[in-house]
Structure 1
Amino acid sequence: MTGPELRVDLNALAANIAVARARVAPAQLMLVVKDDAYGHGLAPIVTRAAAEGVTWFGAFDVREALATRAAVGHDARIFSWLTVGPDQIAAALAAEIDLGVGDAGFLEQIASVARSAGATARVHLKIDTGLHRNGIRPEEWDAILARAASFSAEGLVRVVGVWSHIAEASDAEDDAARAVFDVAIAAAETAGFALEVRHLSASAASFARPEFRYDLARVGAFCYGIRPAGGPGQDELGIRPVAALAATVTRVGDYAVTLGVGSLHGLPSTLATRASVHVSGHRQEILHVSETHTTLAPWEGAVVGAEVWVFGPDGTSATDLAEEIDTVGEEILVRISPLVERTYRGR
């Protein structure tokens, strides 16, 4: 190994997917693949997931949705929710991507592009249940339904779903959000839309609260074995990390051991003096993170060329590091730079 490697265990991914599917059943699982499949590498992840029987994928933007379509073919359903311009809408319609619609203007754009293309867009209308992360305000919901119905009559759109995000901050707040969601669903059905899917929950609520699963559960982090910061552990959830970051010892000194991985590879510099990694059964403090190197407190037996797991199978997880700098495991993983080679087991 000449540089740091992110080693991705696709067998672990398959095992986590099996756990998630069993947990959310009878709802279907949507594997969320935003941010290059949480930094794991999109194509190998979605290819293995499709082989395991996953038929729904959630892509943040059309670029990722198109890459997912190229990898898995046309049997899968792919959902993309970032508001985009006419060119990307046209590309999405050509690739049969389901589009999340969170505002009136985007619905108008989709209908306009569909009219020009002679196509019918599959859309999921998003109700703002209180998180204010995009979404149609409840007081505007009936007007959007009426507009969508007119576009549907023209054959320009087909409303196949209603969806939203929740904060997952407290049961009380999530219950209030679910009540708003249920009202929006009822209104959509009263307006005549035959909904195929209703989806509200992400990883945490999908695992913990059956009433939030509806027809489709959007699970990202847990399928990659990323436990929540301050939440239940991997064993309790039944998942294990899919990715491990390995680096090589490049220098051994009296007061520090240097690894060939740094902030340009994606390690947050704020880990210095606040976090540690497991080495030879002991925790070694991270002393400093420079652009290309990281120094650890020294340990007996350290030799140049030895491999060290920055996070991985020895017990230090991405979330362990994240908790020390008040963030989440997802951030540690999505920061890993393209400079870091991805290698795959189980292809």
Structure 2
Amino acid sequence: MTAVLRVSRTALRGNLASLRARVAPAELMLVVKDDAYGHGLANVIPTALAAGITWIGAFDLPTALRVRALAGDEVRVFAWMVAGDESLRAALDAGIDLGVGDPALLDEVVRLAAARGVTARVHLKIDTGLHRNGIRPEQWPDAVARTAAAQTTGALSLEGVWSHLAEASDDEDDAARALFEQALATVREAGLPRPRAHLAASAAASLRPEFRYDMVRIGAFSYGIRPAGGPGEDDLGIAPVGALEAEVVEVRDSTAVLGIGALDGLPSRLGGRVRALSPAGMVALDHVDDLTTSVAAWPGASVGQTVRLYGTGALSATDLAEAIDTIGEEIAVRLSPLIERRAEDDVRTR
């Protein structure tokens, strides 16, 4: 394998510092789904801990357990796709905070926690219109009442109330926030201690202060992945953390062939639409097939030289994404796990 994703600890630290300053006093939960957006949990978690991050959003249980193994008990780990008795038992034993968006799942968590003699840390999710699971507003008062009853027995501790935003328009997000406020009011009326409120992800957290509440869940922006069609990295105070590079494996008349192709994550539609960074400057990315990627050759191109396909000094993952009408996250997470992720103190233009 001639390709590598260089992961800059310096850029990650800088992004986290910039984002935390922007969203303060809300706390930043670093989201690490899809193996830290393709950058590698083992590369990201130690740097995040050293930067003072105390909450990690893991999405699913296998990721949550990997985070717990890497971080120990230094952080709170939040997972919101956990179901089934075996998975719930593992989550409870590992002290994972559980996002619960279904009344039946709430009952299961309470039952298993009581049986194991532990207190489940639960974040109730209200459906604010996105319909990405979440307890329906008409079911919310009953779910809160059952939560209050379980808290009195010690089987449950309500640690948070949360939801997702569609981020399709300000009007839709404002309507979602109104539902969220109603859900928080129901919790207060039930006499429960005030839980953490977290509604916003990267975009809303960065751009709309009223959506920040107590905590924000930030994934893509932490890795320097800006939104397609949105503000630039400089406007957001972030920089790309990952830089994808591949070596030249063959030089033909007018092209330099790289040992990375669509099977390793680059969409074939990128051919002819973007540029890459060669030792002689930016060159056209000509073609992407299953096994190789070809770029326009430069004077002196030779086998073993390195081309940067995205990252510092080259186009960003979102630049590539915009060329094919998708989002930067897709470019980052589709890279083959066979490609080495290499953490470095800094990743400079080579």
Quote the residue 1:175 is aligned against. Answer: 174
Opposite residue 197 of structure 1, the aligned amino acid is: R
State the SS of the aligned residue for 1:150.
helix
Opposite residue 61 of structure 2, the aligned amino acid is: V
CA deviations over 1:128-180 (Å, ceiling 9, x no partner): 11111111111111111122222222221111110000011111111111011
- What percent identity do the matched residue pairs reach? 55
1:160 maps to 2:159: yes
Opposite residue 117 of structure 1, the aligned amino acid is: R
Quote the residue 1:331 is aligned against. Answer: 330
Opposite residue 198 of structure 2, the aligned amino acid is: H
1:116 maps to 2:115: yes
Opposite residue 330 of structure 1, the aligned amino acid is: E
Name the CA shift for 1:251/1:234 in 2 (closer, same or farther; >3 Å).
Answer: same
Shift of 1:298: 3.0
State the SS of the aligned residue for 2:263.
helix
Quote the residue 2:318 is aligned against. Answer: 319
* In 2: Cα distance, 1:43 partner to 1:275 partner: 31
* In 2: Cα distance, 1:28 partner to 1:281 partner: 43
Shift of 1:60: 0.6
CA deviations over 1:255-289 (Å, ceiling 9, x no partner): 32211111221111221233332335654333322
Quote the residue 1:27 is aligned against. Answer: 26
* In 1: Cα distance, 2:109 partner to 2:84 partner: 9
Opposite residue 57 of structure 1, the aligned amino acid is: I
* In 2: Cα distance, 1:132 partner to 1:43 partner: 32
State the SS of the aligned residue for 1:63.
helix
* In 1: Cα distance, 2:144 partner to 2:242 partner: 43
Quote the residue 2:58 is aligned against. Answer: 59
* In 2: Cα distance, 1:338 partner to 1:322 partner: 20
1:302 maps to 2:307: no
Instruction: Check the 8 A contact 1:28/1:216 in 2, yes or no.
Output: yes
Instruction: Check the 8 A contact 1:311/1:318 in 2, yes or no.
Output: yes
* In 1: Cα distance, 2:308 partner to 2:33 partner: 25
Quote the residue 1:12 is aligned against. Answer: 11
State the SS of the aligned residue for 2:138.
helix
Quote the residue 2:106 is aligned against. Answer: 107
* In 2: Cα distance, 1:267 partner to 1:118 partner: 49
Instruction: Check the 8 A contact 2:250/2:258 in 1, yes or no.
Output: yes
* In 1: Cα distance, 2:323 partner to 2:61 partner: 34
* In 1: Cα distance, 2:227 partner to 2:278 partner: 24
Shift of 1:251: 1.2
Structure 2: 5+ residue stretches without partners: none
* In 2: Cα distance, 1:281 partner to 1:127 partner: 53
Opposite residue 247 of structure 1, the aligned amino acid is: A
Quote the residue 2:45 is aligned against. Answer: 46
Instruction: Check the 8 A contact 1:322/1:332 in 2, yes or no.
Output: yes
* In 1: Cα distance, 2:279 partner to 2:40 partner: 29
* In 2: Cα distance, 1:7 partner to 1:131 partner: 35
Opposite residue 88 of structure 1, the aligned amino acid is: S
Quote the residue 2:210 is aligned against. Answer: 211
Runs of 4+ that moved beyond 6 A? none
Opposite residue 278 of structure 2, the aligned amino acid is: V
* In 2: Cα distance, 1:346 partner to 1:252 partner: 32
Quote the residue 1:69 is aligned against. Answer: 68
Opposite residue 162 of structure 1, the aligned amino acid is: V
Instruction: Check the 8 A contact 2:124/2:161 in 1, yes or no.
Output: yes
Moved more, 292-301 or 313-322: 292-301
Opposite residue 133 of structure 1, the aligned amino acid is: R
Opposite residue 178 of structure 1, the aligned amino acid is: R
User: May I ask how many residue pairs the two structures share in their alignment?
Assistant: 346
Instruction: Check the 8 A contact 1:58/1:80 in 2, yes or no.
Output: yes
* In 2: Cα distance, 1:132 partner to 1:163 partner: 13
Structure 1: 5+ residue stretches without partners: none
Opposite residue 297 of structure 1, the aligned amino acid is: A
CA RMSD of aligned residues (A): 1.5
Quote the residue 2:252 is aligned against. Answer: 253
Instruction: Check the 8 A contact 1:160/1:194 in 2, yes or no.
Output: no
Aligned residue runs from structure 1 range 127-166, under 5 A = 127-166=126-165
State the SS of the aligned residue for 2:341.
strand
Quote the residue 2:291 is aligned against. Answer: 292
Quote the residue 1:125 is aligned against. Answer: 124
State the SS of the aligned residue for 1:68.
helix
Moved more, 144-153 or 9-18: 144-153
Instruction: Check the 8 A contact 1:267/1:332 in 2, yes or no.
Output: yes
State the SS of the aligned residue for 1:166.
coil
TM-score (norm 2): 0.95
